[in-house]
Structure 1
Amino acid sequence: MTFSILARDAETGRIGGAAATGSLCVGGWVLRGRLGAGLSASQGTAPSTLWGEAVLDEMAAGRTAAQAVAQVTNPDSGRAHRQLSALDITGTTAGFTGSASVPACNHRAETDFIVAGNMLTSESILDAMAETWTSTPGHFTTRLLATLAAAEKAGSDSRGLLSAALLCLGPEMPPLSLRIDHSTTPLADLDRLHRRATTGTYAEWSRLVPTRTHPQAAPSAADIARLAPET
């Protein structure tokens, strides 16, 4: 039903994820993130948003991604129908793919990134995602988008795609959370939204708001005069 990637940029400390699915609202269902904890992607035939939040709580408490995934998935009697990916703040990753997940399904957990999917046309899609992530140069979020595009090109969700999302967090930036909840071309739409959100007046304005590094940031009078927030 869904394919996803979670990743960490060791140079900047940013963490981010991207996902796409043949159903609606993948961003709201799948991707979760928290500075100081990490990222999660909870998906599957009966995805648990509770898993997505709980694994962040576990990692925030100091557990590794593998420990957190085990802690969250083991007690759940419905776990066979779910998938969970986790990435902690050190770049350690772990995944769980339930035994009743719709094939093709699996995950690939590596240092600083993890890819996962279910109801795929082929498990080779996961290999294409991993290869694209590791071989693509450039900006962190554009690499995430390229990884989604590689998955679609390699075969995609067996139903096609209807929604896509991207999430990026960093200590020096406000959250970047982009969602295409319903579209016949969600990856193209997400690309356009990403360009709109990371260039021009909106991007300049977003650099003036509070962040973890600068929690009391505020625009000057000159900034206010120069920029017209598009919100």
Structure 2
Amino acid sequence: MTFSILMYDRETGSFAAAAATGSLCVGGWVLRGDIESGLVASQGTAPSTFWRDDVLRRMYSGDRAEAAVAQVTDADPGRGHRQLLALDRCGDTGGFTGMQSVNYAGHMTDRDLAIAGNMLAGPQVLMAMHEAAEGEYATLSDRMLAVLDAAATVGGDARGLQSAALLVLSPERPPLDLRIDYSDDPLPALRTLCLRAHRSPYYDWLTEVPVLKDRYRAVLPDAS
């Protein structure tokens, strides 16, 4: 049904996530993040928004990703139908794929990187995503878009795609949270939306709103 990636850029302290699916509204269902907690992707045949939010809260409180995933999934008797990825603020990762997930389903976790998918064309989708994530790119947004493209190229979601989402969290910038909730071709649409967001006349305004490194940033009145 869905493939997703979570990534931490140790050099900049930024987080990035992306997901795509053969149904509607993948951004609203799957991805959540907080610059002070990390990232979560909750998906599957019966995805739990409680998993997503509970893991974020645990990581904010200091739990490492693997421990947070284990605590949340072990307590749920319906876990066989669900899938979960987590990446904490230290770059540690955790993942879970339920035994009743629709094949092909699986996940891969490394330091600073977590990938998962279900109802995929095959294991080659996860491998292609991992390989693409290790390439050289100008921005984290470019990296995430390339990962989604790589997954789609080798089969992606076995049903095709209808929605896609991108989330980038930086200590020096406001969140970039872009979603294509329904499209016959959501990946090019997401790329176009990303380009327009960066070229928008409102883009300079983003230098005035609060960020992690300056929680009280604002436009100061002219003292003259």
The structural deviation recorded for 1:211 is 1.2
* TM-score under structure 1 length normalisation: 0.93
Letter in structure 1 aligned against 2:132: T
Tell me how far apart the structure 2 counterparts of residues 24 and 41 of structure 1 sit (CA, whole Å).
Answer: 16
Tell me, yes or no, if the aligned pair for 2:19 and 2:148 is still in contact at 8 Å: yes
1:216 is aligned to 2:216: yes
The structural deviation recorded for 1:138 is 2.2
The structural deviation recorded for 1:52 is 0.5
The structural deviation recorded for 1:171 is 1.5
3-state SS of paired residue (1:201): coil
The structural deviation recorded for 1:200 is 4.1
Where in structure 1 are there 5+ consecutive unaligned residues?
223-231
Counterpart mapping for 1:3-18 below 5 A: 3-18=3-18
RMSD, matched Cα: 1.2
Letter in structure 2 aligned against 1:90: C
3-state SS of paired residue (1:135): coil
**Hey, what does 2:137 align to over in structure 1?**
137
Counterpart mapping for 1:1-231 below 5 A: 1-219=1-219
Tell me, yes or no, if the aligned pair for 1:35 and 1:169 is still in contact at 8 Å: yes
Tell me, yes or no, if the aligned pair for 1:3 and 1:116 is still in contact at 8 Å: yes
The structural deviation recorded for 1:173 is 1.0
Where in structure 2 are there 5+ consecutive unaligned residues?
none
Tell me, yes or no, if the aligned pair for 1:196 and 1:202 is still in contact at 8 Å: no
Which consecutive aligned stretches of 4+ in structure 1 deviate over 3 angstroms post-superposition? none
Percent identity, aligned pairs only, is 52
The structural deviation recorded for 1:8 is 0.5
Post-superposition Cα deviations, 1:53-78, rounded to whole Å, max 9, x if no partner, equal 11011111111110000011001000
3-state SS of paired residue (2:197): helix
Tell me, yes or no, if the aligned pair for 1:65 and 1:88 is still in contact at 8 Å: yes
Tell me, yes or no, if the aligned pair for 2:40 and 2:87 is still in contact at 8 Å: yes
Post-superposition Cα deviations, 1:131-187, rounded to whole Å, max 9, x if no partner, equal 000123321111011000000001110000000001111221111100000000110
Letter in structure 2 aligned against 1:191: R
